[in-house]
Amino acid sequence: MQSQAPSPDDLGGVDATPRHVAIIMDGNGRWAQQRGMDRTWGHREGVKALKPIVKESSRLGIEVLTVYAFSTENWRRPLQEVDVLMGLLVEFLAQETPELRDEGVKIRTIGDIERLPDSARRSLDWAKAETAAETRMVLNLALNYGARDEILRAVNRWCRDDAATPLTEECLAGYLDTAGLPDPDLLIRSSGEFRLSNFLLWQLAYAEIFISNKLWPDFDPEEFRRAIRDYQARHRRFGGLG
């Protein structure tokens, strides 16, 4: 028997429903290789796996879902694989943006978008404009993103704009790509790996972490709900006594 999906009211406690969930969607290539297929097939299946997780996040009342879609290090992959990933991004936005807009989901990005191909940037500009007025949930796509790069870019912007003002945590946070968003409460990583992989290093300072052994194409809403239930059972102390 499948466990019953929790509603927001089922989760209980002040911190039960995370406001912001971040996901490292890992394991697409391995999933395909285990089936004797090319890695790019795994990426296509991984894109398919994202849609039901977005829907489930919205249903549970999560405010922000940030997904690690393409890192600054991913440029080291074979050119064909990178081209496929960029094509899948354009395809995903073309197919899913109208439905996301109708469901109240706003598309946002973090990372150095200027380095992406023109087709990807045009698609992102269109998708963000189409969903700009939506307020139910933010789908935050991390593209050409690396946390160290983000922090360096933030410090450089501060030096350019306001170097005369002492740099505080609050000030730096305002220059990060995630400015205006709450920090993640929960980080989920698929594929059983125990690494942050240069993802949201500043923002994840007090996040709870859930490691799933499922490779990303097999990560489904039931596994997502398991992560939320695990989060709900924890007591967050933020460095204090408890």
108 in Cβ contact with 75 (< 8 Å): no
Cβ-Cβ contacts under 8 Å for 81 (sequence gap 6 or more): 39, 40, 43
The torsion of the CA quartet 172, 174, 180, 183, rounded to 10 degrees, works out to 0
Among 188, 148, 154, 179, smallest CA distance to 65 is for 188
Residue ranges with strand state E in the chain: 20-24, 64-71, 105-110, 137-145, 186-189, 208-211
Q: Minimal CA–CA distance to 182: which of 39, 21, 3?
A: 21
Picking from 147, 183, 199, the residue whose alpha carbon sits closest to that of residue 25 is 199
CA dist., res. 121 & res. 135, Å (int): 23
From CA 8, how far away is CA 60, in angstroms rounded?
5
Q: Which residues are catalytic?
A: 26, 74
Nearest to 90 by CA among 60, 122, 58: 122
